[in-house]
Amino acid sequence: MDTNLFETMTSQAAYDGLPAKLITLTNRSGMQIMLMDIGASWLSCRLPLACGEQREVLLGMGTLEDFMRQTSYMGVTVGRYANRIANGTFSIDGKEFQVSTNQAGNCLHGGEFGFDQRRWQIELQSSQHVVFSLVSPDGDQGFPGELVAQVTYHLTDENQVEITYRANSSKATPCNLTNHAYFNLAGAESGLDCLSHHVQISASQYLPTDEFGIPYGEFAEASGTAFDFREGKTLASDWLSDVNTELNLAKGFDHSFTFEHGRDVTKPVATVISPDEQVKLTVTTDKPAMQLYTGNWLAGTPSRTDTPYKDYAGFALETQLLPDAPNHLEWRQPDPILRPNQTYQYRTCYQFMV
Closest by alpha carbon to 322, among 236, 223, 235, 205?
205
**Per residue in 83-141, pLDDT tens?**
999 999 999 999 999 999 999 999 999 999 999 999 999 999 999 999 999 999 999 99
Q: Provide the pLDDT for residue 247.
A: 86
DSSP 199-222: EEE--SEE--B-TTS-B-S--EE-
Q: Provide the pLDDT for residue 245.
A: 76
Average confidence score pLDDT of the chain: 95
Q: If you count them, how many residues does the chain have?
A: 354
**Distance from C-alpha of 215 to C-alpha of 68, rounded to nearest angstrom:** 29
Q: How many CB atoms lie within 10 A of CB 273?
A: 19
- CA–chain centroid gap for 265, Å, is 19
Residue type for position 309: Y
Residue 242 has pLDDT above 80, yes or no: no
Residue type for position 37: D
Is 83 one of the annotated binding-site residues?
yes
Closest by alpha carbon to 183, among 200, 166, 195?
195
Q: 238 vs 224, 287, 302, CA distance in Å?
A: 10, 27, 29
Strand bridging mode 280-285 / 270-273: antiparallel
Is 167 one of the annotated binding-site residues?
no
Q: Provide the pLDDT for residue 2.
A: 66
Is 327 one of the annotated binding-site residues?
no
Is 182 one of the annotated binding-site residues?
yes
**Per residue in 25-70, pLDDT tens?**
999 999 999 999 999 999 999 999 988 899 999 999 999 999 999 9
Residue 243 has pLDDT above 60, yes or no: no
Structural domains of the chain in order of their starting residue, each with its CATH number: 198-340 (2.70.98.10)
Is 84 one of the annotated binding-site residues?
yes
User: Quick check: helix, strand or coil at residue 140?
Assistant: helix
Positions marked active-site: 180, 318
**Distance from C-alpha of 36 to C-alpha of 281, rounded to nearest angstrom:** 23
Spatial neighbors of 250 by CB under 8 A, at least 6 apart, are 209, 211, 213, 296
Residue type for position 273: I
Q: 192 vs 46, 115, 311, 313, CA distance in Å?
A: 17, 30, 11, 7
Residue type for position 173: T
**Per residue in 182-239, pLDDT tens?**
999 999 999 999 999 999 999 999 999 999 999 999 999 999 999 999 999 999 998 7
Q: Please state, for a pLDDT cut of 90, what percent of the chain lies above it.
A: 90
Is 181 one of the annotated binding-site residues?
yes
Indicate the DSSP class of residue 64: H
212, 104 in Cβ contact below 8 A? yes
User: Quick check: helix, strand or coil at residue 323?
Assistant: coil
Spatial neighbors of 246 by CB under 8 A, at least 6 apart, are 208, 209, 255
pTM for this structure? 0.96
**Distance from C-alpha of 151 to C-alpha of 163, rounded to nearest angstrom:** 7
- CA–chain centroid gap for 39, Å, is 12
Q: Give the containing element (helix H, strand E) for 284.
A: strand 280-285
**Distance from C-alpha of 342 to C-alpha of 353, rounded to nearest angstrom:** 36
